[in-house]
Amino acid sequence: MTTKITAIYPENAAKPAAPYSPAVQAGNTFYFSGQIALTPEGKMNNATLDTELTQVFTNIEALLSAGNITKEHIAKVVIYLADLNDYDAVNIRYAEFLGDITPPARSCFQVAKLPLDAKVEIEIIATL
């Protein structure tokens, strides 16, 4: 039996600039492509780390909504940072984003460079 894979393209999010889907659903699992601070108009909202994080979390919320799921469905998060010195600041905003849900499993890495000179990129896996 083959699992059907359905692409998720929220109306209120930036369109991909490369050949990938913002998110896909495979059975009961949702895989979200890494989210950077792209606005729905395709512009980077990267004045500061805080503005980037606000946009990234807005993008994630749009994907969750388009998939008819919530933060409570997030099982795994991967955070990519251009500068690991931003780790503590990201943790504060990340905790605010999650609120009082059980925190998902998570990894965090510093990488050499992110698309469009982003300071942070976040990808998630969610499940029903």
From the candidates 108, 114, 123, 125, give the one annotated as an active-site residue.
108
Structural domain harbouring 47: 5-127
**For the chain, what is the domain count?**
1
Q: What is the mean pLDDT of residues 62-86?
A: 97
Residue 85, domain CATH: 3.30.1330.40
Total-model pTM: 0.95
Distance CA 28, CA 35 (A): 21
Residues 6+ apart with CB under 8 A from 64: 70, 71, 73, 74, 126
- 95 in catalytic set: no
- In this prediction, residue 14 has a pLDDT band, given cuts at 50, 70 and 90, of confident
For the chain, how many residues are written?
128
H helical segments located in 15-119 = 49-66, 87-98
Instruction: Give the confidence band of 66 by pLDDT, cuts at 50, 70, 90.
Output: very high
| Across 46-63, average pLDDT | 96
Rounded distance, CA 83 to CA 126, Å? 26
Average of per-residue pLDDT across 43-62: 95
